[in-house]
């Protein structure tokens, strides 16, 4: 007769969040009945919840040995392999789950073995295809990833992740209009989903359709007024529409919801700079850097209000910090060179322009600046060669 007492106690303890105690009950169940595959499966589930992936993987392997036709254990094995970065093995595990339970299978009698988050698809196999897609995407096999995400959506049209994943891959493939259609279709099924409106706004922003993007973000916020990311991206759309005061208000709303929202601080700094409110812009950038000191973009952007406030040495220091983090950014080298030239530090400026040109030899403005510096250094033959390069790149430039 099958002993289920310890196993059921384990299930009850797990529901109560008492994971270590649940684990002990599953171990006892296995000792009493070593061939009970379900106990290994649930043991693996608990290990997953505890973040002990290698042990979870071993438990699923044991369950598969005992019951090799259980697709759920192959799926859970695939998830752990994916988290451990063993992508090819993860892909094989997902393929095995799909082979055991084809996409059109009507009987998901083993669904209880799928370790699912409550917010994910109602169909377990939609998650199998979705997670297979993430592995293929990580392996750079984008067309195959796209097909997997489409299969997930076919199984569960309102899947929480697959539409977004499909849209991301389409953007990577440069198919931006198709990416937008993902959310058009999703909203047709559920027009009251704030995330769909939010992601539609992002897709429209990528297409530079900012008025439509603004409408999408506003719809998202109507449905979910506390979505800080929607407030921030609404601000960005307003920024592109040159509605700066409204953009600033949107960023402030995002920060009211989450004072640690670094993107809102950064974009607030950008807007305050446009509004010539340089001291406030500096405060915003400093707050963004307090939250994320490794942002080259923020260090770079902070140089602008510092220059406007005549704090030139600090501006140069900001450029240097940005270049420490992003040494191959030609724009930073160019702007640093311009500031150095303005303050008569010509050799340093020349070095900066030359580095900018090594990174982008087609930068006409950098060639012009280099020519000006070389003239100031009385190196006129080199300056003339720089001007000739300007004319080669842009034969109609009358100011070379």
Find the CATH number of the domain harbouring 388: 1.25.40.10
pLDDT band at 34 (very low <50, low <70, confident <90, very high): confident
Does the pLDDT value for residue 303 go beyond 60? yes
Q: What's the pLDDT at 11?
A: 82
Does the pLDDT value for residue 390 go beyond 90? yes
Cβ atoms 271, 251 nearer than 8 A: yes
Mean pLDDT along residues 322-346:
97
Please provide the average confidence, as pLDDT, over all residues in the chain. Answer: 91
pLDDT band at 21 (very low <50, low <70, confident <90, very high): confident
The residue range of the domain holding 366 is: 328-400
Would 333 be classed as within a structural domain?
yes
Would 393 be classed as within a structural domain?
yes
Q: What's the pLDDT at 4?
A: 61
Mean pLDDT along residues 372-382:
97
Q: How far apart are the first and last CA of the chain?
A: 93
The position carrying tokens 């309102």 is 158
CB-based contacts of 105, cutoff 8 Å, min separation 6: 125
Q: What's the pLDDT at 123?
A: 62
Q: What's the pLDDT at 14?
A: 82
Q: In angstroms, rounded to a whole number, what is the distance separating the alpha carbons of residues 216 and 234? A: 9
For residue 20, count other CB atoms closer than 10 A to its CB.
9
User: Residue 248 corresponds to which tokens in the numbers above?
Assistant: 């600033």
Would 228 be classed as within a structural domain?
no
Q: In angstroms, rounded to a whole number, what is the distance separating the alpha carbons of residues 108 and 156? A: 14
Per-residue pLDDT tens digits for 238-290: 999 999 999 999 999 999 999 999 999 999 999 999 999 999 999 999 999 99
Does the pLDDT value for residue 398 go beyond 80? no
Q: In angstroms, rounded to a whole number, what is the distance separating the alpha carbons of residues 340 and 235? A: 33
Q: What's the pLDDT at 29?
A: 83
Question: Which of 321, 387, 376, 371 lies closest to 343 in space, CA to CA?
Answer: 376
Q: What's the pLDDT at 259?
A: 97
Distance of alpha carbon 193 from the chain centroid: 21
Per-residue pLDDT tens digits for 100-149: 875 443 333 344 455 543 333 456 689 999 999 999 999 999 999 999 99
Mean pLDDT along residues 283-306:
98
Does the pLDDT value for residue 12 go beyond 70? yes
Domain total in the chain = 1
Q: In angstroms, rounded to a whole number, what is the distance separating the alpha carbons of residues 33 and 21? A: 19
Would 175 be classed as within a structural domain?
no
Would 203 be classed as within a structural domain?
no
Q: What's the pLDDT at 118?
A: 35
Does the pLDDT value for residue 169 go beyond 70? yes
Q: What's the pLDDT at 103?
A: 44
Q: What's the pLDDT at 102?
A: 57
Would 343 be classed as within a structural domain?
yes
Q: What's the pLDDT at 107?
A: 34
Q: In angstroms, rounded to a whole number, what is the distance separating the alpha carbons of residues 338 and 353? A: 8
Would 363 be classed as within a structural domain?
yes
Alpha helices in 224-345 (DSSP H): 228-240, 244-257, 262-274, 278-291, 296-308, 312-325, 330-342
Q: In angstroms, rounded to a whole number, what is the distance separating the alpha carbons of residues 375 and 340? A: 15
User: Residue 351 corresponds to which tokens in the numbers above?
Assistant: 């070095």
Would 90 be classed as within a structural domain?
no
């Amino acid at each position: 007769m099958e002993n289920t007492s310890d196993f059921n106690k384990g299930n009850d303890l797990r529901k109560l969040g008492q994971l270590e105690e649940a684990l002990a009950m599953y171990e006892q169940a296995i000792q009493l009945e070593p061939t009970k595959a379900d106990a290994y499966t649930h043991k693996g589930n608990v290990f997953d919840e505890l973040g002990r992936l290698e042990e979870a993987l071993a438990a699923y392997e044991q369950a598969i040995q005992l019951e090799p036709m259980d697709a759920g254990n192959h799926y859970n094995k695939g998830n752990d392999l994916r988290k451990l970065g063993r992508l090819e093995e993860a892909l094989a595990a997902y393929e095995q789950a799909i082979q055991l339970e084809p996409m059109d299978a009507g009987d998901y009698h083993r669904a209880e073995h799928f370790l699912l988050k409550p917010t994910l698809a109602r169909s377990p196999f939609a998650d199998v295809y979705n997670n297979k897609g993430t592995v293929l995407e990580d392996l750079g096999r984008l067309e195959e990833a796209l097909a997997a995400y489409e299969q997930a959506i076919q199984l569960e049209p309102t899947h929480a992740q697959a539409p977004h994943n499909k849209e991301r891959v389409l953007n990577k493939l440069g198919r931006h209009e198709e990416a937008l259609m993902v959310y058009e279709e999703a909203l047709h099924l559920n027009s009251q989903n704030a995330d769909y409106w939010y992601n539609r706004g992002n897709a429209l922003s990528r297409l530079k359709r900012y008025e439509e993007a603004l409408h999408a973000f506003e719809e998202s916020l109507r449905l979910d007024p506390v979505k800080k990311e929607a407030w921030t991206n609404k601000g960005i759309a307003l920024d592109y529409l040159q509605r700066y005061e409204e953009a600033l208000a949107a960023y402030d709303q995002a920060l009211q919801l989450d004072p640690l929202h670094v993107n809102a601080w950064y974009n607030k700094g950008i807007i305050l700079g446009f509004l010539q409110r340089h001291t406030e812009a500096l405060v915003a950038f400093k707050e963004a850097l307090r939250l994320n000191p490794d942002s080259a973009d923020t260090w770079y952007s902070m140089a602008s209000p510092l220059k406007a406030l005549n704090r030139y040495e600090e501006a140069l220091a900001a450029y240097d910090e940005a270049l420490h983090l992003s040494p191959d950014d030609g724009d930073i080298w160019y702007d640093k060179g311009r500031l150095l030239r303005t303050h008569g530090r010509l050799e340093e400026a020349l070095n900066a322009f030359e580095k900018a040109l090594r990174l982008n030899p087609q930068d006409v403005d950098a060639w012009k600046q280099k020519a000006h510096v070389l003239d100031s250094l009385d190196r006129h033959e080199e300056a003339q060669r720089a001007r000739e390069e300007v004319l080669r790149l842009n034969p109609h430039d009358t100011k070379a």
